[in-house]
Amino acid sequence: MRQNTFKKKIKKGNSARVGGKNLFTLIEEKLNMTGLLGDGVPVQFVPPFLYVALLALIYIWSNHSAESMVRKIEILQREVEDVRADVTTLEAEYMLSSKQSEVAKKIAPFGIEEINEPPIKVKQKK
């Protein structure tokens, strides 16, 4: 029978050692992964796991960008409401200031008076 070449031995002298043990050895002891998976990770489970992990990342990214878009929309809606209120106020002021009586009050200091009589139609003979 052939020897398993997928699982490589950990070389001694690794720089990630903590108290004489490798960091990954400590993690493996704490999580007890050998009880769940046996001697190693079955290779046939790696592609589906990576696929599910990729789908999870896409889902998280999509959710984050949707929340960001909702926040931007709310900010823009508040700005639109503020601008709409300003426009309504300016339109009301314009309508008030364009009345004939208001215009007459504004031009009175220049010596121009409002005519109280209707204009006369001038007819020309041929």
pLDDT score of 41: 66
Q: Cα(first)–Cα(last) distance of the chain, in Å? A: 127
Total domains, the chain = 2
pLDDT tens sequence across 33-71: 666 666 666 778 788 999 999 999 999 999 999 999 999
pTM, full prediction? 0.49
The reply to whether 17 falls in a domain is yes
The reply to whether 103 falls in a domain is yes
> Residue 23's domain spans which residues?
11-40
The reply to whether 83 falls in a domain is yes
Strands (E), 14-78: 17-18, 21-22
d(CA 18, CA 25): 10
**Paired tokens of 67:** 């929340």
**Claim to verify: residue 48 and residue 100 sit in the same structural domain:** yes
d(CA 98, CA 95): 5
